[in-house]
Amino acid sequence: MTVRIRRWRESSPWLAPVVTFIALFVALFVLPPLVSALASPDGVPQGWLLACLAQAATMVVFALSYNLLLGETGLLSFGHAAPAGLGALLAAQMFNRHAIALPLLPLVGGLGGAAFGVLTALVAARRAGTAFAMITLGLGELVAAAAWALPDWFGGEAGVGIDRGSGPAWGHWTFGPDGEAYCVIAAWCVVAGVAIFALSRMPLVRLANAVRDHPVRAAALGIAPARTRAAMIVWSAAFAGVAGTLALINVEMAAAESVGMSRSAAVLIATVTGGAGSFFGPVLGALVWVAFSVGVASVSRAWMLYVGLFFIAVVLAAPDGLAGVAARQRAWVVRHGWRPAVRVGAAGALACLFGALAFVLAVQWAYAARLRDSNPDAWLATLTPRDAWQLCGALVVLAAAAMLFAQRARRLKRSFDAEETER
Amino acid sequence: MQAFAIDALNGISYGLLLFMLSAGLTLIFSMLGVLNFAHASFYMLGAYLGVTLAGTLGFGWALVLAPLLAAVAGAAFERALLRRVRPGGSLNALLLTFGAAAVMGELVKLAWGLQPLSARVPAVLDGPLFLLGGAAFSRYRAFAMGVSVAMLGVLWVALRVSQTGLIVRAALTHAKAVEALGHDVPRVQTLVFALGTALAALAGAVAAPLFVVEPAMAESVGSIVFVVVVTGGLGSLAGAFVASLVLGCLQSFAIASDASLGALAAHCGLALPPAWRALTLAQTAPLLPYLLLVAILAVRPRGLFGQLTDDA
């Protein structure tokens, strides 16, 4: 059985990742709504669940499009929200003026994003590295500032709204209800994901990889670095426009914030923490980001601090992101077998758990103490001196436990590595 | 004419403040090969520290202590974090400073709260310095100009005359050779990073009474400073100087003018869509730095005085 699977994976290197992607998609975006619909009395999935999943699907496409730049071409962009937001804006204006079926709207958004990508490429494709990052920052800020200066186009504070159900219907589907709109978003997520994967196996992206690794050598081989970068910028902007339109379908509005710096920062953080080096890294990063920005943000005001510190930790300890960590762990398990991996993993997991617990307690305490005046009922906001001392003690104990377990995990891992080299 | 002179003076004082920021950024970039995304956060830290210290110890002490404290923070950041990621490439270092900017923004919110702080100008520096035909040039702006010029003069002399300055200048271009001569280049790098953050914090402390001290100030100033260094050419101090002054004057003239875009376009013989025609030049002032950046880069990809590097 395993031999057959391995042979199948080797014979078709395309099929395995696509099948994995679709399986992941079904597990994440198809099963939960179905289960929710079956569990609820009226057979309709929970609204908040659909909203969350739609946001996650949008972010997955957005991060995958960003990785065409960062991972494949080595271009760090600080203005990726601009093509997404402008694509969504164009889609919203077209949807309000012409009879375009909702499922075709992301195509319009993609075209809008690509058009902005052409403009970006004209200015920025000749530079790479830090200069490219700063130019995209400038372009992103330009679009963000223009969004506030031109309320007629961007709708000012309120944004440009659409009514999903007002477009032409396909059979019984008007796309007005949440469930039908979610189906459109989910279908586009899988289409865009597979398309980006197919693109990443095309010659163009191979050339982009060459330009990323050594532009001078690539130029000597007859590959024009600027032209390759320009093509990648346009493709990436087009898929960003698709992602922006998916967000538009979800919230029925293209607002000025959707071109802003915070959205660009979100996709950058998601892609880097997930891992720009592999196809599934950005998908993972997008899911982690949505978990933070929806889950953690709903319970804690300190969520941006957690995100920032998590980002710094990833950049310091694993520049190849969570996907890189997973790949390294898998290689280690393959080399040493399951039993040592479980022992090291248990110690490491306990260290992470205790460390995170101590850190979260400390941060929540600090925020609660700081915001005591505005929110006196918050958790940990009002402690008696005795409670405060006990909390301090608990923090010290937790931190010490985390350090001990981390040391133990490191020592175990070193001893297994030493055994391996002896053999 | 008088109004023009006052606008020009305001623009130059703003430009000099921008240059204090971009000079530190450029020095750090040419020394470490890292564009410090958190530079504007150190500016914000300087402004907050300046306001707090001015409230307790007095304005003079704030101007001295805020940059020193920020320099200590900068040196600690360079030694503890930045040094570890720099071997991984300049983009990794840029990402680290990006994360640091986010975290510093949150920490400032935690320490000082979300409300904007009001910075008080000391009585000596309050009021107009002189009047030119009804338009006033404030005393504090003149003081800010003086501090910037003095600081930059001291920096220039220190880099040109002192032994450390000689080592820094040599290490900018020939780090390996300087190391071979027995100088501790990593320490020089930490020193330059601390110096750059101190300049940023000084600019923040001086600018605090002129602008609003709030958690979003790092973002708004940060992107302008990055525009300055890219427009001037990455790594070029002269370029940063010219670009700072040009941007400062451009912004100040645009904000002070009451011409509308439609009138301007009609003057050039162009017709604009109605959404654009009603805009005044003052409303488009926030757009101008970025338009300048795009225009310069379209004509000259390396920036005004920059050199083409291998990534171009």
Listing DSSP states for B72-90 in one string gives: HHHHHHIIIIIHHHGGG-H
Query: Would you say residue A8 has pLDDT above 70?
Result: no
B284 contacts in A (CB within 8 Å)? 149
Contacts of A40 (CB under 8 A, 6+ apart): A46
B221 contacts in A (CB within 8 Å)? none
Say which DSSP state B119 is in.
P
When pLDDT is averaged across residues B256-266 and rounded to a whole number, the result is 75
When pLDDT is averaged across residues B29-41 and rounded to a whole number, the result is 90
Instruction: Report which of B39, B122, B109 is spatially closest to residue B74, judged by C-alpha positions.
Output: B39
Compute the C-alpha angle A154/A155/A160, nearest 5°.
90
Q: Would you state the structure tokens that stand for residue B275, as one six-digit string?
A: 């959404």
Q: Is A12 left (phi over 0), alpha (psi -120 to 50) or beta?
A: beta
Domain residue limits, chain B: 2-214
Query: Is A145's CB within 8 Å of B227's CB?
Result: no
Query: Is B301's CB within 8 Å of A126's CB?
Result: yes
Query: Would you say residue B309 has pLDDT above 60?
Result: no
Place of tokens 């997973």: A326
Q: How confident is the model at residue A2 (pLDDT cuts 50, 70, 90)?
A: low
Residue among A134, A308, A367 minimizing CB distance to B230: A134
Q: How confident is the model at residue B283 (pLDDT cuts 50, 70, 90)?
A: confident
B110 contacts in A (CB within 8 Å)? 302, 305, 366-367, 370
Nearest residue in A to B297, CA atom: A123
Chain CA centroid to CA B93, Å:
20
Which long-range contacts does A295-303 make (Cβ < 8 Å, 24+ apart)? A300/A364, A300/A367, A301/A367, A301/A371, A302/A363, A302/A364, A302/A367, A302/B106, A302/B110
Q: What is the DSSP track for A55-87? A: HHHHHHHHHHHHHIIIIII----S-THHHHHHH
High-pLDDT (> 90) share of chain A, %? 49
The pLDDT, as a whole number, for residue B312 is: 42
- Scanning A318-384, the segments in alpha helix (DSSP H) are 321-336, 338-370
Nearest residue in A to B102, CA atom: A308
Question: What end-to-end distance do the CA atoms of chain A give, in Å?
Answer: 30
CB contact at 8 A, B26 and B51:
no
CA dihedral in degrees (B142, B143, B145, B151; nearest 10)? 160
The helix (H) or strand (E) run that includes residue A155 is none
Query: Is B311's CB within 8 Å of A127's CB?
Result: yes
Q: What is the pTM of this model?
A: 0.90
Place of tokens 């820094």: B168
CA distance B138 to B129: 5
pLDDT digits (tens, 9 = 90+) for B192-212: 999 999 999 999 999 988 888
Q: Where are the beta strands (DSSP E) in A132-188?
A: 160-161
CB contact at 8 A, A146 and A246:
no
The helix (H) or strand (E) run that includes residue B116 is none
Q: What is the DSSP track for B121-181? A: PPGGG-SEEEEETTEEEEHHHHHHHHHHHHHHHHHHHHHHHSHHHHHHHHHHH-HHHHHHT
Q: How confident is the model at residue A121 (pLDDT cuts 50, 70, 90)?
A: very high
Q: Where are the beta strands (DSSP E) in A245-312?
A: 253-254
Q: Would you state the structure tokens that stand for residue B215, as one six-digit string?
A: 């958690």
CA distances in angstroms from B230 to B11, B212, B292, B294, B304, listed in the order given: 20, 26, 11, 10, 9
How many Å lie between the alpha carbon of B23 and the closest alpha carbon of chain A? 16
The pLDDT, as a whole number, for residue B256 is: 81
Contacts of B112 (CB under 8 A, 6+ apart): B48, B52, B215
Q: How confident is the model at residue A113 (pLDDT cuts 50, 70, 90)?
A: very high
Nearest residue in A to B229, CA atom: A134
Q: Give the least confident one: A244-248, A319-323, B167-171.
A: B167-171
CA distance B280 to B122: 35
When pLDDT is averaged across residues B161-188 and rounded to a whole number, the result is 87
pLDDT digits (tens, 9 = 90+) for B86-129: 888 888 999 999 999 999 999 999 999 888 888 788 877 777 77
High-pLDDT (> 90) share of chain B, %? 36
Contacts of A355 (CB under 8 A, 6+ apart): A398, A399, A402, A403, A406
The pLDDT, as a whole number, for residue B304 is: 85
Query: Would you say residue A6 has pLDDT above 70?
Result: no
The pLDDT, as a whole number, for residue A162 is: 87
Compute the C-alpha angle A224/A226/A232, nearest 5°.
105
The pLDDT, as a whole number, for residue A11 is: 64
Contacts of B52 (CB under 8 A, 6+ apart): B62, B112
The pLDDT, as a whole number, for residue B298 is: 79
When pLDDT is averaged across residues A325-335 and rounded to a whole number, the result is 89
CB contact at 8 A, B250 and B16:
no
Strands B135-138 and B128-132: antiparallel
CA distance A64 to A236: 9
Q: Would you state the structure tokens that stand for residue A26, as one six-digit string?
A: 């079904």
Residue among B94, B276, B287 minimizing CB distance to A76: B94
CB contact at 8 A, B304 and B276:
no
Residue among B103, B275, B298 minimizing CB distance to A309: B103
Q: b/e per residue, A143-178, with b = 16+ CB within 10 A?
A: bbbbbbbbeebbbeeebbebebeebeeeeebbbeeb
Instruction: Report which of A133, A63, A76 is spatially closest to residue A274, judged by C-alpha positions.
Output: A63
Query: Would you say residue A174 has pLDDT above 90?
Result: no
CA distance A233 to A228: 9
A373 contacts in B (CB within 8 Å)? none
Domain residue limits, chain A: 2-307, 337-422
The pLDDT, as a whole number, for residue B308 is: 63
Q: Would you state the structure tokens that stand for residue A55, as one six-digit string?
A: 């946001």
Between residues A32 and A62, the one the model is more confident about: A62
Residue among A74, A138, A315 minimizing CB distance to B227: A138
Query: Would you say residue A391 has pLDDT above 50?
Result: yes
Query: Would you say residue B263 has pLDDT above 60?
Result: yes
Residue among A138, A261, A319 minimizing CB distance to B294: A138
The pLDDT, as a whole number, for residue B311 is: 47
Contacts of A177 (CB under 8 A, 6+ apart): A165
Query: Is B226's CB within 8 Å of A215's CB?
Result: no
Instruction: Report which of A193, A168, A197, A181 is spatially closest to residue A243, judged by C-alpha positions.
Output: A193
Contacts of A418 (CB under 8 A, 6+ apart): none
Query: Would you say residue A75 has pLDDT above 80?
Result: yes
Beta bridge partners of A161: A253
pLDDT digits (tens, 9 = 90+) for B134-152: 677 888 888 999 999 998 8
pLDDT digits (tens, 9 = 90+) for A189-229: 999 999 999 999 899 999 999 999 999 999 999 999 999 99
Place of tokens 């690509």: A114
Place of tokens 């914000």: B44
Looking at domain A2-307, its CATH architecture is Orthogonal Bundle (1.10)
CA distances in angstroms from A191 to A17, A106, A357, B66, listed in the order given: 14, 11, 40, 54
For chain A, give the number of residues: 423
pLDDT digits (tens, 9 = 90+) for B230-242: 899 888 888 999 9
Strands A160-161 and B128-132: unpaired
CB atoms near residue A226 (< 10 Å):
18
CA distance B132 to B5: 8
Q: Give the least confident one: A147-161, A165-179, A360-374, B264-278.
A: B264-278
The pLDDT, as a whole number, for residue A9 is: 62
Query: Is B106's CB within 8 Å of A308's CB?
Result: yes
CB contact at 8 A, A301 and B71:
no
Query: Would you say residue A329 has pLDDT above 60?
Result: yes
The pLDDT, as a whole number, for residue B10 is: 87
CA dihedral in degrees (B258, B260, B266, B269; nearest 10)? 100
Q: How confident is the model at residue A342 (pLDDT cuts 50, 70, 90)?
A: confident
CA distance B165 to A220: 40
CB contact at 8 A, A318 and A325:
yes
High-pLDDT (> 70) share of chain B, %? 95
Place of tokens 């980006």: A196
The pLDDT, as a whole number, for residue A106 is: 95
pLDDT digits (tens, 9 = 90+) for A266-298: 999 999 999 998 889 999 999 999 999 988 888
Instruction: Report which of B13, B66, B26 is spatially closest to residue B193, judged by C-alpha positions.
Output: B26
